[in-house]
Amino acid sequence: KTLTMTAVGAGYDLSPTTYSPDGRVFQIEYAQKAVESSGTSIGIRCIDGVVVGSEKAMPTKLMLQSTNRRIWIVDMHTGMATSGLTADARRIADEARYESENYRDFYGHQVPGRILGDRLARFVHSYTLVGWLRPFGAATLLASYDDTNGPELHSIQVDGTLLRYFATAVGKNRQAAQTDLEQIDFKTITCREAVNKVAEIIYKHHDDIKDKNFVLELGWACDESGRKFQQVPADIAN
Amino acid sequence: AGSSENGKQHTLDPIVTGASVLGVKYTGGVMLMADTLGSYGSLARFCDVERIRQVNDTTIVACSGEYSDLQYIDDLLHTLVVEDYAEDDGASLNPEEIFHYLSRVMYNRRSKVNPLWNQAIVAGFADGKPFLGYTDLYGSTFEDNLLATGFGQYLAMPLMRKAVEENEGKMSADEAKALLEESMRVLFYRDGRTINKFQTAN
């Protein structure tokens, strides 16, 4: 289902190595569409950790609720939530795991979130530079909690941009979610509160009529958990 | 070490070494004990060395022999554990699997004539069953109710066997601890590369 308001690529959209006359790379924009038509993912950095949540569409009741994961554990202290093509996201998660392991083997210390984010961003970006590869159709919210920098939330976009956030969202209801996230007082919010907030925002903007049924996936790395792990079901308020 | 005219050489002499490790199964678990000395030849150089390492929730590993190889083994097993953790499927490696993996690594290294100069004990408790296994720089493997490495094999095993025999393998944790402590005492008296400070894990 294509968006009707898109400018027509008209021959400049066949490869990421081609600019359009107005300076756009259409392949990257198309990849962004893949993310935007996928369920929302939200991340919030709290005073005691990071929380991420993802709206995982369940197209059929035949599917197990736990499958088609959108939240990936990368290392003991790091994880990521993704929106977009799940298979592409899996590749990014694997790369994150590899880089994390590699950093530890080399430096003997867990990889700081910003360094892992940097490596992932470079990795994703490299797929926008060559004609025989397509950009990843998945955006990543990298949640980390390490000794050096504390809790951090990074977002890696489809074009390879790396940004560090207090809170952000990617996917379908990104803008509405970000408006809600602006209301948060980041100096005081705790992970427990953020869990409720993430769930609240996702449920609020999910259109029960237009959108499919969904499962809310949550993950956090906080003082309470000491690392990245899947949310305990009892904690989910909604 | 070795002259460069012979091409690549591998180190075949351990430098910083650990002494014996003792392990025993008891009712409801398994216990390991090792002293905390890192010897530098005959010098008792590093007196606070942890030779028993936790791998994951169900398994611990302890080594005699080259300490740097123990550190390497610890890192290697940690990588396995992180992979398990990231998979997040409710399954994790049990002691037997970790033991098997380690023994394969040891055997492969010996086959390249570049061994990890250790005698290792892998111990754990999973699915209600205690596990105790031994592997070494040759890649040999043994599993038993009581095991020891180094001098412990000669000095402590007879003591341990006698105690277990009398108890018919139904020792309690306290009895296991007392037995291991007594064995460590004997080792301290007679093994010249030990100190009277040790680490216990179960």
Of B75, B79, B88, the CB nearest to A230: B88
* Residue B166, pLDDT score: 73
Pairs of CB atoms within 8 A across A/B: 21
Q: Do B86 and A74 touch (CB under 8 A)?
A: yes
Of B75, B79, B88, the CB nearest to A73: B88
B-contacting residues in A 59-98 (Cβ below 8 Å): 69, 72-76, 97
Answer for the pair B63, B21: CB distance below 8 angstroms, yes or no: yes
Going residue by residue through chain A, which has 238 residues, state the pLDDT in tens, using 9 for 90 and above: 445 445 566 788 889 999 999 999 999 999 999 999 999 999 999 999 999 999 999 888 899 888 889 999 999 999 999 999 999 999 999 999 999 999 999 999 999 999 999 999 999 999 999 999 999 999 999 999 988 899 999 999 999 999 999 999 999 999 999 999 999 999 999 988 898 899 889 988 888 777 778 888 888 888 766 566 666 555 554 5
* Residue B40, pLDDT score: 94
* Prediction ipTM score: 0.84
Q: Three-state SS string across B112-125, please?
A: CCCCCCEEEEEEEE
Going residue by residue through chain B, which has 202 residues, state the pLDDT in tens, using 9 for 90 and above: 444 556 666 767 899 999 999 999 999 899 999 999 999 999 999 999 999 999 999 999 999 999 999 999 999 999 999 999 898 888 899 999 999 999 999 999 999 989 999 999 999 999 999 999 999 999 999 999 999 999 999 999 999 999 888 776 678 899 999 999 999 999 999 988 888 889 989 8
Record the tokens describing residue A31, joined without a space.
């990849």
The C-alpha atoms of residue A140 and residue A41 are separated, in whole angstroms, by: 9
CB atoms within 10 A of CB B56: 20
Q: Do A101 and B79 touch (CB under 8 A)?
A: yes
Answer for the pair B93, B84: CB distance below 8 angstroms, yes or no: yes
Whether B79 contacts chain A with CB within 8 A: yes
Q: Is the dihedral of CA A17, A21, A26, A32 positive or negative?
A: positive
Whether B48 contacts chain A with CB within 8 A: no
* Residue A232, pLDDT score: 52
The C-alpha atoms of residue A166 and residue B6 are separated, in whole angstroms, by: 59
Answer for the pair A213, A207: CB distance below 8 angstroms, yes or no: no
The C-alpha atoms of residue B70 and residue A195 are separated, in whole angstroms, by: 41
* Residue A40, pLDDT score: 94
Q: Give residue-wise pLDDT tens across range A75-106.
A: 999 999 999 999 999 999 999 999 999 999 99
* Residue B6, pLDDT score: 63
Q: Tell me which chain A residues have a C-beta less than 8 angstroms from the C-beta of B86.
A: 72-75, 97
Burial degree of A172 (CB within 10 A; 0-12, 13-18, 19+): buried
Whats the size of chain A, residue-wise?
238
- List phi, psi (to 5°) of A3: -75, 135
Q: Which of B11, B59, B79, B149 is catalytic?
A: B11
Residue B25 bridge partners (DSSP): B30
The C-alpha atoms of residue A99 and residue A119 are separated, in whole angstroms, by: 7
For strands B52-54 and B59-66, give the pairing.
Answer: antiparallel
The C-alpha atoms of residue B123 and residue B25 are separated, in whole angstroms, by: 9
The C-alpha atoms of residue B152 and residue A37 are separated, in whole angstroms, by: 65
Burial degree of B165 (CB within 10 A; 0-12, 13-18, 19+): exposed
Burial degree of B171 (CB within 10 A; 0-12, 13-18, 19+): buried
Answer for the pair A71, A201: CB distance below 8 angstroms, yes or no: no
* Residue B2, pLDDT score: 46
Answer for the pair B148, B21: CB distance below 8 angstroms, yes or no: yes
Answer for the pair A55, A40: CB distance below 8 angstroms, yes or no: yes
* Residue B1, pLDDT score: 43
The C-alpha atoms of residue B92 and residue B83 are separated, in whole angstroms, by: 9
Residue where the block lists tokens 């107005």: A22
Q: Model pTM greater than 0.90?
A: no
Phi and psi based region of residue B167 (left: phi greater than 0; alpha: psi -120 to 50; beta: remaining) = alpha
Answer for the pair A158, A16: CB distance below 8 angstroms, yes or no: no
The C-alpha atoms of residue A144 and residue A103 are separated, in whole angstroms, by: 15
Record the tokens describing residue B140, joined without a space.
């040999």
The amino acid occupying position A119 is R
Residue B11 bears catalytic tag: yes
* Residue A227, pLDDT score: 63
Q: How far is CA A221 from CA A52, A167, A229, in A?
A: 9, 15, 7
Distance from CA of B78 to the nearest CA of A (A): 10
Of A72, A101, A229, the CB nearest to B82: A101
The C-alpha atoms of residue A225 and residue A48 are separated, in whole angstroms, by: 10
Answer for the pair A44, A197: CB distance below 8 angstroms, yes or no: yes
- List phi, psi (to 5°) of B15: -105, -65
Distance from CA of B79 to the nearest CA of A (A): 7
- List phi, psi (to 5°) of B16: -100, 120
Residues 6 or more apart from A151 whose CB is under 8 A from it? A45, A46, A47, A48, A49, A50, A143, A144, A145, A221, A222
Which of B56, B78, B88 should we substitute to test contact with A (largest number of A Cβ atoms within 10 Å)? B88
